[in-house]
């Protein structure tokens, strides 16, 4: 299943902040964690992740530092700030409101579609029920 780009963009901030709320991390590890958490449905690239991280840095939601890994390679680690935790809590409230709205709409649409399908499958059944009610009266 391919996820719409608008949906990926809209969800990128809370996803990155939530991953960093688990602990400090670096770019490649964040990409791996997104893939893992989404069951492979979200396949982010460097070109998608780093602009999000740079924006979060600019907004003060994350901080970064350089560290040298055991391999000798330098990695830039990102850490969520208290401001970022507050933003994550706000994003969570907003996404929960959207989720509740969509679930309500989908349930309503599902019930309406199911009801229409029942009427279409057995129109004679509805007529005979009406006839039985009339005969009984």
CATH 3.30.1280.10 fits 5-136, yes or no: no
pLDDT score at 124: 56
Does position 23 have pLDDT exceeding 80, yes or no?
yes
Q: What is the average per-residue pLDDT within 116-124?
A: 68
pLDDT score at 110: 84
pLDDT score at 119: 72
Question: Cβ atoms within 10 A of the Cβ of 134, count?
Answer: 8
- Cα(69)–Cα(72) distance, integer angstroms: 5
- Cα(28)–Cα(75) distance, integer angstroms: 9
Q: What is the average per-residue pLDDT within 41-50?
A: 94
Q: What is the average per-residue pLDDT within 20-47?
A: 96
Does position 137 have pLDDT exceeding 50, yes or no?
no
Does position 136 have pLDDT exceeding 80, yes or no?
no
pLDDT score at 114: 75
- Cα(83)–Cα(72) distance, integer angstroms: 32
pLDDT score at 123: 56
What CA dihedral angle connects 111, 116, 118 and 121, to 10 degrees? -150
């Amino acid at each position: 299943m391919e996820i719409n780009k608008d949906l990926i963009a809209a969800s990128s901030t809370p996803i990155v902040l939530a991953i960093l709320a688990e602990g400090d991390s670096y770019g490649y590890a964040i990409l791996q964690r997104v893939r893992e958490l989404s069951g492979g449905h979200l396949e982010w690239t460097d070109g998608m992740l780093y602009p999000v991280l740079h924006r979060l840095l600019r907004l003060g939601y994350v901080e970064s530092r350089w560290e040298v890994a055991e391999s000798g390679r330098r990695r830039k680690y990102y850490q969520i700030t208290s401001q970022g935790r507050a933003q994550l809590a706000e994003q969570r409230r907003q996404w929960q409101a959207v989720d509740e709205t969509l679930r309500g709409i989908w349930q309503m649409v599902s019930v309406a579609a199911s009801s229409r399908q029942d009427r279409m499958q057995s129109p004679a059944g509805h007529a005979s029920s009406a006839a039985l009610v009339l005969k009984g009266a």
